[in-house]
Amino acid sequence: MTAMVQATELRRDLAGFLGQTQFAKFVMQARGRLLYWQEEAWQRFVAEHPQYAALSVDSLPAALRICHVHGSELQPYAAKVTHDCMDFTEEYSNANSKLFPNSWSHPVMVGPDHSTKTIDVWICQECRKAESDWRGALQS
């Protein structure tokens, strides 16, 4: 079984176990070390799905590297860095969090101690399209 097939099956089974809302929250917050509630949920999941017992908790973020809105695989991307404060409108911030949270089309704000011009992030191509569609609808 390939890693991709195993990750797809894991996602399907975990979504079925947690329910779509809790699964989306689990995926959204599985960017590094699991939070306490995620560790507990994972232990309960593995107790009911022992085929995943050998999967390391440290490997979960990579297996769950999908967009929690669109379900598509996230792709690596070098986002531009800015040291300036960016002030987004409330309308944009709300749309971004609900419709295209992984678009990363704007520069990433970092502190002045960062000397890099880019920072590695994970993007969703469907989020990019959703943001473009959202911006297009504003123009109409």
DSSP assignment of 59-99 equals: GHHHHT-B-TTT-PBPEEEEEEEE-S-----HHHHHHHHHH
Contact 48, 105 (CB under 8 A): no
- pLDDT tens for each residue of 48-89: 999 998 888 888 888 999 999 999 999 999 998 887 788 889
What pLDDT does residue 3 have?
Answer: 59
Could you give the C-alpha distances from 90 to 33, 39, 53, 93, in angstroms and in order? 30, 34, 43, 5
What pLDDT does residue 57 have?
Answer: 82
| 120: helix, strand or coil | strand
Q: Give the number of other CB atoms < 10 A from CB of residue 52.
A: 17
- For the chain of 140 residues, list the mean pLDDT of each consecutive stretch of 10: 72 96 92 89 95 87 92 93 85 93 87 80 96 89
Contact 73, 65 (CB under 8 A): yes
